Amino acid sequence: MTRDLPLTERDHPDSQQLDSLSPLAIVRLMNRQDRLVVDAVERVADAIAESISIVTERLRCSGRLIYCGAGTSGRLGVLDASECPPTFSSPPEMVVGVIAGGRSALTRAIEGAEDDAEAAIADLQSLGLTARDVVVGIATSGSTPYVVSAIQYANSFGAATIGIACTEGAMLEQHARCMICPLVGPEILSGSTRLKAGTATKMILNMISTGAMVGLGKTYGNRMVDLKPSNAKLKRRSIRLVSDIAGVDTETATTLLEECGGEVKTAIVMHAASCSPENARETLAASDGQLRRALNTCSSGLPPDRS
């Protein structure tokens, strides 16, 4: 019976005639179902917040955030990891995405990859896993052998472990020290967890990585002050940030950024403290990278914070 199946594998009663629906009816059905995802994620807010605290602590102690998954889950982990360096200027090795089957699995299915428990161990060994790291196992079914094996191996190293699944009573719950289970219900296309389960997973990963980076001082208010100005758009944004936060004109902001190699936080502290780039970096380091805290140590006045 369908009730004996994991929640992610069950038939959805509202989509049993899916192949007979018009395009508009499919869109409306999917849209109704997608609204359920937000509520499902809200119900696990405490577990997500706990995960953010764990990840922030590990990153602050030079650990890494390592996502492990297979198929869609693995791709979502790799995606979130790849977006951290351009958004937060984090080193590429700080947040790492590991997918069963390796890089080729990003664009095509690798037969048997999700069932290869030994490969998970080998993949983590190749990263030089340490007790400072945190491993997030992503498996919507909660039972993917590759992911369960990765979490077990991480536990043996003393690394922190977090599990993400979209069903209850999953094997992953027996091993992950912090578990996040947004119950989004069956998919309208039975077993296609790239739908609601994938959306919930993406939301949760967004929250974990963003929350951790905020905790590390990568933001000032709601602004990305640790961005890497690697293209014209980001260079313009850097100038706007310095101009807005420091209260200077565009020309002055541009000069400040040129003097410190494009480092937004350094440029702002340079202006606030009327100091050199080196002294500004020291001030930031003493403030754990938190721009707000660094500015509180500066004697020169800034315009009221509008964040």
Residue 118 within a domain: yes
Which residues are known to be catalytic? Answer: 83, 114
User: DSSP string of 181-237?
Assistant: -------SSTT-TTTHHHHHHHHHHHHHHHHHHHHTT--BTTB-TT----SHHHHHH
Residue 223 within a domain: no
* CATH number of 282's domain: 1.10.8.1080
* CATH number of 92's domain: 3.40.50.10490
Over residues 251-273, the pLDDT tens digits come to: 999 999 999 999 999 999 999 99
Given 173, 189, 215, the domain boundary residue is 215
Residue 301 within a domain: no
Over residues 183-213, the pLDDT tens digits come to: 999 999 998 999 999 999 999 999 999 999 9
Task: Calculate the average pLDDT of the chain.
Answer: 92
Same domain, 74 and 193: yes
- pTM of whole model > 0.85? yes
Same domain, 200 and 290: no
Distance CA(134)–CA(129), nearest Å, equals 9
Parent domain of 291 = 232-296
Given 183, 215, 247, the domain boundary residue is 215
Same domain, 172 and 280: no
Same domain, 163 and 40: yes
pLDDT at 119: 96
